[in-house]
Structure 1
Amino acid sequence: MNIDSSRLNPRQEALVSAFQYLIGNADWSTTLSRNVKLIQPYDTTAKVIVVPYDFDFSGLVDAPYAVPDNSLGLKSVRERAFLGIHENVEVLSPIKRYLESKKDEMYAVINDCKSLSKPTKVAMITYLETFYSPDATSPALHHAFK
């Protein structure tokens, strides 16, 4: 199902896009409904909500079978590409602050996961840390993600 971006909640879509960027997931598309569910609230005048899933091709997971999306110019699944629709600084700046406020909670989830080895936990947290580095963000996001 293709969707017109005007039907989406811009802040919520930007949050999903920033999260996907944070974890390095380029295997999704809101407009093409790839690896996202689009939920229309009962109130049909309300904007559609984007719910992401399927993160195995993300840089955070770094699955051995994952391959980068060459159409995006990626050479590794650990490279990030922002695939969001809304690259508006006014929308993304508070989202960046929100994701920063959740950093310790994200790290706790990783560290508390008994099925992950210590080296895997370290690799995942090290990967997430690169999100917060200004030189790791795309030019469009550089100003918003400072």
Structure 2
Amino acid sequence: MSTPPLPLIAVLNGPNMNMLGLRQPHVYGRATLDDVEALCAETAEELGLAIDFRQTNGEGELVSWVQECRGRAAGIVINPAGYTTTSIALMDALLASELPVIEVHVTNIHRREEFRQHSYVSKAAVGVICGLGVTGYALALTAMAELLEERP
């Protein structure tokens, strides 16, 4: 008898996240995006989840990836990065996915410049984790696993 597939969680990252560890390490830390992917893979395995980890600098590509999640993924963990404060298109795609969404930010956006403190993505998210560094990704996956267990 075959075992059912693991629930798939899309872990999506927006612009400049490929520069993590290099760009302003005093703000974003020294962990790289490869480190984040390894952390997510390890956490997902412990939780019985599968992940699809991606990063793009293009808004349209990120929106397309969110649209692909509908009917394919069980949930979305997203660090929208610079599109947090600007992308109504991303918010609309997340809402249309009808999936649980957890928004993640490496820094505490509420302690930063005023323009970084508003998030369109939060309108589509069941939860937001910010300011805990890359550990926020592991926390988001843990929270997602719990959300999925609660669903009928």
The TM-score normalised by the length of structure 2 is 0.28
Indicate the structure with greater strand content.
Answer: 2
The TM-score normalised by the length of structure 1 is 0.29
Larger radius of gyration: 1
